[in-house]
Amino acid sequence: MKTTIMIVTMLVLCVCPVYIKAADEPPPVPSQEQPEVLTSGPVHEAFAEPVNLQVQAGLVATKAPPANIVENAPSQRPQGDQFVLIPGYWAWDTDRNDYIWISACWRAAPPNTYWVPGYWAKVDEGWEWVAGFWAQSGSNVIEYLPAPPALEDVEPVGSPPSEDQIWVPSCQYWSHDHYIVRSGYWLVARQGWVWSPSHYIWTPRGYVFSAGYWDYSLERRGVLFAPVYFSRGFHFRAGFTFSPSIVISIGMLQVNLFTCPRYSHYYFGDYYDNVYLGIGIFPQFRSERIHLWYDPIYVYDRWNNRHSEPRWEEHEQHEYDLRRNDKNLRPPRTYREMETRQAGMSEDQRKNFRVAHPITEASANRATMKFQQVNTKTQRQITTKATEVSKFSDKRNQWESAPTTGKTAQPSKVFTKPAEHKETVVQPAKHKESVTAPVERKGSVTQPTEHKESVTAPVERKGSVTQPTEHKESVTAPAERKGSVTQPTENKQISAPQEHKVSVTQQADNAPAFVPPRKVRATGSEKVTIPKSPVEGKSVSSDKSNAGPPSKPTEERKQVDDSRDNNKDNKDKGSNRNK
């Protein structure tokens, strides 16, 4: 009996410390307080951007963005010197009425370009996003210009001369103190290369001309990491760092890709509810109906699928309609939701459902992209260089910042306003097509009196993989989505640039109203020498067809040069007559 008591006592003494130790340890942090990995949201602007043909007022957030997060480089990277790590930034999320973090991305920088990152600029109504852009290598000078006149011939002229050609819309070129129109033209498309046409980027200081360039097709651009939401209760302790590890599937990205022209961003994921049309997040095909922006990815994909799927556009719209009408077919909005929903699926079904996966899984699949391990020293070097991009963004904010009084500031040097530049800018008159709103959208969209845009209903969507039909459970939307999405702050006090006297023409009932951008400081050409960008694309000769991009289209400058010569001839003739 004594022996039994001794044995029991020894067991109790051995086990008790375990319980005491466990009681001293705090419970795990609630999942609601941890960063939420998202499988929907804006696409990193350096990875892909739509092209605005008519610049509008940008998206305005109602509160200041938090301080940037320091991101540690992932332990694995894609093979190739062309890939650079471009750090993340804060993006405004209308669902949450809060900021989310757009994680860094590995990007194959377009050849012969360098990256100028975007930033949040302080304005009277809050903070307005100023888009980043890829600039042409060979010059560290940015030219700021007054507002260009509206374009009128952005729609294709007839049918393409051959099935290998795509339409490039018209553009304006600044020459001798006024704008010259470069007409639209047909361009021979190339496999694996996406043409991003010339366009303008609005900044508080003036408009920046972004010359057209060849970019890699989407699947060759690199690695896109999932965005992350840090709840308001999340504590950013001193020295906090973040290393992205969840990779977005490029195939599923293309399946569920949307466009927000006013924010100059692509969006991916579940943006099928009609409410998103009201804030200007459109299915890609809408660019072919509204013509306020140009979608390089959509144009390339349509051309690239012309043989394998002749009715590709119809298929895109059909897939979009399926998801719009059936929530069960839509992609998950968070990584946690994705894992929950695919738990009962077969392996084949999961492949058609996985929006994102760990980078370790992506690196194991060498069929899509080859990866290499990065040692600790190299990681630190990559992290340091990526941090320089964030500093470059802050510097850009400083040299472009404008007063927030709403008045046009005077540049450091006074320029004479060109006498020739007297165009009245109107909304393009060619958008006569009336687009039928979706059936469930029963409320009519009224055009507000103070530039509050009425947004167009969708019509078609990118080709996609249909979600497993046997998965019929109803998926609850995030708690923040109450059936309506917070509208971005409108620029109510914005007036069109004085020299243009913009007239906003009412479009078809279902079309969005054009919201004029803010005034800029530039009244003529202002050239600014900027620091060297930390991100530059490799200098690749167009003659090396296997390694480099196709040659730059001659139409980009030829028509302008011809117009300039005609103007010169006319002036000479007038001068001779006067003599």
pLDDT (mean) for 233-249: 87
Neighbour count for residue 292 (Cβ, 10 Å): 26
Residue 381 pLDDT level (bands cut at 50, 70, 90): very high
pLDDT (mean) for 424-439: 38
**Is 337 a domain residue?**
yes
**Is 343 a domain residue?**
yes
Q: Is this structure's pTM higher than 0.85?
A: no
**pLDDT over 70 at 492, yes or no:** no
* Range among 19-33, 495-509, 527-541 with highest mean pLDDT value: 527-541
Which tops the pLDDT comparison, 369 or 436? 369
At 237 the pLDDT is 81
Domains of the chain: total:
1
Which tops the pLDDT comparison, 470 or 341? 341
The amino acid sitting at 116 is: V
DSSP-derived 3-state class of residue 273: coil
Q: CA nearest 235: which of 87, 29, 28, 478?
A: 29
**Is 78 a domain residue?**
yes
Q: State percent of the chain over pLDDT 90.
A: 56
At 429 the pLDDT is 38
Q: How many helices (H) and strands (E) does the chain have?
A: 10, 34
3-state SS string for 139-206 = CCEEEEECCCCCCCCCCCCCCCCCCCEEEECCEEEEECCEEEEECCEEEECECCEEEECCEEEECCCC
Strand partners, 102: 89
Distance between CA atoms of residues 392 and 385, nearest Å: 11
Q: Give residue 187's domain range.
A: 31-430+485-536
**Is 82 a domain residue?**
yes
Neighbour count for residue 220 (Cβ, 10 Å): 16
**Is 59 a domain residue?**
yes
**Is 314 a domain residue?**
yes
pLDDT (mean) for 136-161: 90
Measured at the CA of 475, the angle between CA 470 and CA 476, to 5 degrees, comes to: 170
**Is 359 a domain residue?**
yes
**Is 49 a domain residue?**
yes
Distance between CA atoms of residues 197 and 115, nearest Å: 16
Inter-residue contact 478 to 457 (CB < 8 Å): no
Measured at the CA of 557, the angle between CA 555 and CA 559, to 5 degrees, comes to: 65
CA dihedral 449, 453, 454, 458 (to 10 degrees): 170
The amino acid sitting at 402 is: A
pLDDT tens-digit map of 301-321: 999 999 999 899 999 999 999
